[in-house]
Structure 1
Amino acid sequence: MCRHLAYLGPETAIGDVVSAPPHSLLTQSWAPRRQAHGTVNADGFGVGWYAPDDPVPARYRRAGPIWGDLSFADLARVVRTGALMAAVRDATEASADGEAGASPFASGIWLFSHNGAVRQWPQSLAEVAASLPPADLLSLEARCDSALVWALVLHRLRLGNAPAEALAAAVETVAAAAPGSRLNLLLLDGSTIAATAWGDTLWYRADPGRAVVVASEPYDDDPHWTEVPDRTLLTATRTDVLLSPLKEASA
């Protein structure tokens, strides 16, 4: 469910990454090639990007399908950035969240996206949610599973965890409480991408020293795309990509 990507590299128009490639995120909203769960990602979309000399990203999110938003098409044509995150959404279940439920979620310098679904939501995470500070729960942008997973990640970041550690801890917590969940997460701070492959596809394409893209699936047929093994934590910058195994929920 859902498709997402994060990009770090030379400054480029948002549309060059999100909508121009032959199998772009725009195309994946109605015709994903490697999505095993769900078929159409039309329950909202969003993009977050960083401007030069400003560490806090801007966002544009909507509740409808990306293909019907001509304002976004115009924005994506002219706005340029060297770091962005974008997602198209297939909601776990129907809700009234609207654009508030669409990734990327944000706080401070961070952008976050969840590709997947929490099993037996919301009952499965009742105890996990109760472990968060009340202020964190009251600050949730939406009542969907992705918003709560983001709250778990953000809580870890505020405690001082490194980005990769925060993602890994959230995945292990949710997987233990809700076995069978799909938890492909993306986290971006403008210079580093952290991601998890847990139950769904994840790929990356790196041009060391210049650019890196991490995505649910390749947006073109370039042979340099590499699939990330399931149960893997990825950390990427413009110069390096590091892969390490994630613990099983029973470990």
Structure 2
Amino acid sequence: MCRHIAYLGEPVALGELLLRPPHALVRQAWAPRTQVSGVVNADGFGVGWYADGDPVPARYRRTGPIWGDLSFADLARVVRSRALLGAVRGATLPGADGEAAAAPFGSGPWLFSHNGAVPGWPGALTPLAAGLTPAELLELEARTDSALLWALVLHRLRAGQPPGDALAGTVLAAAEAAPDARLNLLLTDGDRIAATAWGNSLWCLHGRGRVAVASEPYDDDPGWREVPEQTLVTASRADVVLTPLKEFAA
């Protein structure tokens, strides 16, 4: 399993969201409060953030636990951004892909993360992978369920689907192929956030010119609201919309 967070708002130091709060991502790596499977997320971590004037985000990803990377702690103290996506990884299966398997995955302006697991990987998703082109399969950053889910989402984005539709369609197709899959997906382009709650916790904080969507609250702000199961979240700094995923079913 994993924990992840996306933020849009006024520029903030990465550490102010990922390291400093009492229940920040760094603590969720070893003491998550609402995780339904696994207790430690120490198999890698990453953060992607946007700089003014550049639509393509920077990414910093590593294979070890977030709490052991002193260089990241120093970087997070001074790097500021108006939008970011961070994640800590708890690997479902052993693998040799290293930091390539750590979220966020990215392409162009997009950053993506998956909190969950697909039982029966890789066979369960083989029918979905067959819908990708050879070039898209060769672009996979890692041999993991998360990387393939990202390829499926990106395929839909490149076909012109809005981000919410791309996530919803991917989740419904993956859930049909693997009914016990946990499919909390998180996507941002630096201006908007889309996320799904499917098999694990998801929370949203909105107001005062910012929005955060996260696996669990990073502090005790009373504004945090839990997202209902099997729901799509689409959010910007202006508003948050919750849509039952069953409304996307054919």
User: TM-score interval w.r.t. the shorter chain?
Assistant: over 0.9
Give the aligned partner of residue 245 of structure 1: 244
Contact 1:231-1:248 at 8 Å conserved across structures: no
Using the alignment, how far apart are the partners of 1:242 and 1:248 within structure 2? Answer: 14
Give the aligned partner of residue 138 of structure 2: 138
Contact 1:140-1:147 at 8 Å conserved across structures: yes
The structural deviation recorded for 1:92 is 1.5
Give the aligned partner of residue 204 of structure 1: 204
Contact 1:13-1:78 at 8 Å conserved across structures: yes
- The correspondence of residues 1-251 of structure 1 with structure 2, limited to 5 A, is 1-207=1-207, 210-247=209-246
Q: Unaligned 5+ residue runs, structure 1?
A: none
The structural deviation recorded for 1:38 is 0.4
Deviation string for 1:85-111 (max 9, x for gaps)?
000000120100100000000000000
Deviation string for 1:175-227 (max 9, x for gaps)?
0101110000000001000000000000011015x000000000111111000
Deviation string for 1:151-188 (max 9, x for gaps)?
00000000000000000010011001011100000000
Deviation string for 1:33-58 (max 9, x for gaps)?
11110000000000000000110000
Secondary structure at 1:217 match in 2: coil
Contact 1:175-1:249 at 8 Å conserved across structures: no
Using the alignment, how far apart are the partners of 2:45 and 2:219 within structure 1? Answer: 20
Secondary structure at 1:91 match in 2: coil
How high is the TM-score relative to the length of structure 1? 0.98
Using the alignment, how far apart are the partners of 1:235 and 1:22 within structure 2? Answer: 26
The structural deviation recorded for 1:131 is 1.3
The structural deviation recorded for 1:66 is 0.3
Contact 2:168-2:248 at 8 Å conserved across structures: no
Greater than 4 Å deviation, 4+ residue runs: 248-251
Secondary structure at 2:160 match in 1: coil
The structural deviation recorded for 1:247 is 2.1
Using the alignment, how far apart are the partners of 1:240 and 1:196 within structure 2? Answer: 16
How high is the TM-score relative to the length of structure 2? 0.98
Distance 1:249 1:93, change over 3 A: farther
Contact 2:83-2:190 at 8 Å conserved across structures: yes
Distance 1:47 1:200, change over 3 A: same
Deviation string for 1:102-151 (max 9, x for gaps)?
00000000000000001111110111111111100011000000000000
Using the alignment, how far apart are the partners of 2:6 and 2:200 within structure 1? Answer: 16
Distance 1:248 1:181, change over 3 A: farther
Using the alignment, how far apart are the partners of 1:66 and 1:221 within structure 2? Answer: 22
The structural deviation recorded for 1:248 is 8.7
Using the alignment, how far apart are the partners of 2:145 and 2:246 within structure 1? Answer: 21
Q: Percent identity?
A: 67
Using the alignment, how far apart are the partners of 2:35 and 2:128 within structure 1? Answer: 28
Contact 1:116-1:181 at 8 Å conserved across structures: yes
The structural deviation recorded for 1:249 is 10
Q: Unaligned 5+ residue runs, structure 2?
A: none
> For residue 234 of structure 2, what is the amino acid of its counterpart?
T
**Number of aligned residue pairs:** 250
